[in-house]
Chains A and B, each alone.
Chain A
Amino acid sequence: MNVPKRWRAIAIAAISTVALIPGTSFAATLSIWARASSSNAAQHMIDLWNASHDDKIELTTIPDNQMVTKLATSVQSGDVPDLISFDLIFMPDFMRAGLLTDLTDVLGADPNQAKVAQAFKDLATYEGRLYGTGFTPDVSILLYNKDLFRKAGLDPEQPPKTIGQLEDFARKIRASDPNAYGYYFSGSCGGCNIFTQAPMMWASGATLLPSSADGPAMEGTGVKEVLTMLHNMWKDGIIPESAEADTGANFQATFETGTIGMQGSGGFAIAALKANHPEIDFGIAPLPGVNEGDASSFVGGDVIAVPKGSKNADLALQFIQWQLTDDAQLNGLAKNLILPSRSDLADNEFFKAEPRYVTTAQAVGIGKTPYAFHFNDMVNADQSPWLTMLQTAVFDGDVDGAIAGAQETLRSIAAQ
């Protein structure tokens, strides 16, 4: 095509002018990696962003157990996603390894960041700098079967408020029906139990995981009491035999049989039970401590951060700030019955019809997450000191020996 030189020059000048006007740019596509267990929640948020922004976000789902490997290798090869959503428990290790971008200057000045659940703020801080924020949280709660409560002569609207009551209720449930068990936990799953048993310990003031070699480990009221309670229930057949070998595969499935009175679980159980087992009348309560009023929770779920080397770091940060706004928290998460990461939005219009969500959302505010390096070594590994302590105490009955052994191993791991 023969375009006159004069027109060609005008066209080039026009394009250059448009490109140089501040704020004029071509739409970009950001990439985000999210672990499988939180990708559904992340997708809701991304859909909301994509519907209202020119710059789009594309989600890649990574299997949960491959996230650390993928991120570490991608940072080392320089081929990273723009954003990453992963289990907040890994934040200390990732921050210390220098895999994440420092977001202190922008997020520190964001008023919405101040309203994010404290657990996320704590876990995303390393040496006074902020490297991420809350994205798609989940919390641990006590799940109980109201039908079994009624059968045992218990008030289904009065869940246990102390671990003593929990044991008492569990015994009554077991006694009321030979096919029913009072309590359940996955006895060979470190991660499941730090999520569901640990809050009962730290609700009464215990410190579980050391963040340094001389830090407190498995100390304070709650550790011995919870382990003893679990052992007593195990010894007397209040907990089913299959609990000992459960690596987490039956974490939810056992309660779904309708034969379990109570068990620690997560907020995710509400939607799952409502959808798949409408026949089970279940209640949600905070995980109790030794004394009444000691309730607590484990704040789990995903944190969002920008990996070092992100090609669209500024835009990624815009998304992070946007997802903390009222609109995103309510319409992206709460509207889809997913917990918001901001504690101030726990009581929202979408949760009103289902008070059980309010209980879980409030647990985000009172819950904790242990800040520890080498969390996998301490908790998740199949022979971790946390799991070994639990198994030795509950199944073998050596509570004091189990605690002493765990303290020693935990400190040696923290020293690495």
Chain B
Amino acid sequence: MHRALRKNAGFFYILPALVFVGLFVFWPLGQLVYLSLTDTSLLGGGKFIGFENYFKAFEDKSFWRALWFTLKYTVFITPILMGLGFLLALLTAPNRPLRQITRGIIFLPVVIGIGSSSLLWFWLFDQQVGLFNKALIDIGLMAEPMVWFTKADPALIAVTISITWKVIGFGMLLFVAGIQSINGEIGEAALIDGGSYWQRVWYIILPLSMRVILLTTLISVIGSMLAFDQFYIMTGGNPRGQTFTSVYWIYQNSFISFKLGYGAALSIILMLIILVFSSLQVALSNRSPAT
């Protein structure tokens, strides 16, 4: 009895976590999979229809267009968040009072809800009362106020600016942690050998921060692939549905068109796509040197 208990001690230790994950991850996921195989509407129903929702999804041009736009947004915003976040981290990593305050200020928008920040930026970009247009006119970059949300590309840029302001502090903080964990002696040795600041960044800090960079990229990519609030509030999917993200389209189907079953199928497809991306990044991360 005792031997059996001892043999399975590890299992008993992780049992609470397994129960928790089972209840709050796998059970709802199972429900979602089942829902995706039915014609459930928000107003009732729920007949089993097999893979019909999935076949429908493959023919749903709007979904694939939304997915394509989501990928475009992800590819567009991720390098900005990574590059700018890393540069800010280089600037604020040393623990000196002014740099710590700067770090705090840059991090501040992270604690604001994404809904609030999107609303704030929506009005900042407004053609008539927005300060953003006024600032661009005042510094001579524009002759007259611009309507940011009538074309897909300016709309994408507007959302990217708002999200960069909102989340850049989070990436910066992770990078700061990564930079600060690098053994200082390595940098000192490079300094003695005559390495310039940017040479130290390129040959020491960057390679030794790679795991943090990949982790931050992973978080950023997942966040971008699941983008919803910012587009819902700032563009409403416009112009003409050109800024619909995948999650926005799932929301439209589930809660505006009441098609919960179909929305569930789209969610499963999106989850699988994100899973593939994440797995690739985790595999890359495992091949990177540890700091």
Q: Could you tell me if A257 and B239 are in contact, using CB atoms closer than 8 angstroms?
A: no
Q: Which of A49-57, A142-150, A240-248 contacts the other chain?
A: A240-248
Contacts A68-B255, A241-B150, A376-B257 given; does A391 touch B240 at CB 8 Å: yes
Inter-subunit contact A382/B255 (CB<8 Å): no
Are A72 and B42 in contact (CB-based, < 8 A)?
A: yes
Instruction: Give chain A residues whose Cβ lies under 8 Å from the Cβ of B238.
Output: 188, 245, 247, 382
Residues on A with C-beta less than 8 A from B132 are: none
The reply to whether the CB of B73 lies closer than 8 angstroms to some CB of chain A is no
A69 near B236 (CB under 8 angstroms)?
Answer: no
Our pick among A250, A383, A391 for the contact of B237 (Cβ within 8 Å) is A383
Cβ–Cβ < 8 Å partners of A254 in chain B: 128
Question: What are the residues of chain A within 8 A of B240 when measuring CB–CB?
Answer: 383, 388, 391
Q: Measured between C-beta atoms, what is the minimum distance from B156 to chain A in Å?
A: 13
Q: Which residue of B lies closest to A249 (CB)?
A: B122
B258 engages A68 (CB within 8 Å): yes
Q: Say yes or no: is A37 at the interface (Cβ < 8 Å to chain B).
A: no
For B147, what are the chain A residues with a Cβ–Cβ distance below 8 Å? Answer: 241-242, 244-245
Chain A contacts for B244, CB-based, 8 A: 382-383
* A380 on the B face (CB < 8 A): yes
State in angstroms the CA–CA spacing of A250 and B240 once bound together: 18
A311 in contact (CB, < 8 A)? no
- Tell me the bound Cα distance from A382 to B233 in angstroms: 13
Query: Do A242 and B44 touch (CB < 8 A)?
Result: no
Expressed in whole angstroms, the Cα–Cα distance for A388 and B43 within the complex equals 26
- Cα A96 to Cα B45 in complex, Å, equals 12
Residues of chain B within 8 A of A383, CB atoms compared:
62, 237, 240-241, 244, 252
Q: Taking beta carbons and an 8 Å cutoff, which residues of A are in contact with B? A: 65, 68-69, 72, 76, 93-94, 96-99, 188-189, 241-242, 244-245, 247-250, 254, 257, 374, 376-377, 380-383, 388, 391
Contacting residues of chain B (214-245) with chain A, CB-CB under 8 angstroms:
235-241, 244
**Would you call A382 and B236 a contact (CB within 8 A)?**
yes
A98 x B42 contact (CB < 8 A): no
B residues neighboring A (CB under 8 Å): 41-44, 62, 122, 126-128, 147-150, 155, 235-241, 244, 252, 255-258
B43 touches A376 (CB 8 A): no
Residues of B contacting A: mostly: loop
* Bound complex: CA A388 to CA B237 (Å): 13
> B257 near A374 (CB under 8 angstroms)?
yes
Q: Is the CB of B241 within 8 A of A97?
A: no
Which chain A residues lie closer than 8 Å to B237 at the CB level? 382-383
Assembled-state Cα–Cα distance A161/B238 (Å): 33
Contact indicator B42/A68 (Cβ below 8 Å): yes
A72-B43, A244-B147, A247-B238 are known; give 16 further A-B pairs, CB within 8 A.
Answer: A68-B43, A72-B42, A76-B44, A93-B258, A96-B43, A97-B44, A188-B239, A242-B128, A244-B239, A245-B235, A247-B236, A377-B257, A382-B237, A382-B238, A382-B252, A383-B241
- Cα–Cα distance between A399 and B252 once the two chains are bound (Å): 26
Chain B residues with CB under 8 Å of A188's CB are 236, 238-239
Docked Cα-Cα span, A249 to B120, in Å, equals: 13
A selection of 28 A-B contacts at a CB cut-off of 8 Å is A68-B255, A69-B42, A69-B255, A76-B44, A94-B43, A97-B41, A97-B43, A99-B44, A188-B238, A241-B147, A242-B127, A242-B147, A244-B147, A244-B150, A245-B148, A245-B238, A245-B239, A247-B238, A248-B236, A249-B122, A250-B126, A377-B257, A382-B238, A382-B244, A382-B252, A382-B256, A388-B240, A391-B240
Q: CB-CB < 8 A to A377: which residues of B?
A: 256-257
- Contacts of B42 on A, CB cut-off 8 Å? 68-69, 72
Max count, chain B CB within 10 A of own CB: residue among A247, A250, A376: A247
Partner among A68, A72, A241, A380 whose Cβ is within 8 Å of the Cβ of B44? A72
Residue of A nearest to B257 (CB): A377
Expressed in whole angstroms, the minimum distance between the Cβ of A257 and any Cβ of chain B is: 6
User: Assuming A241-B150, A242-B128, A244-B147, is B252 touching A381 (CB within 8 A)?
Assistant: yes
Contact residues in A for B258 (Cβ distance below 8 Å): 68, 72, 93, 376
Hey, which chain A residues are within 8 Å of B44, CB to CB? 72, 76, 97-99
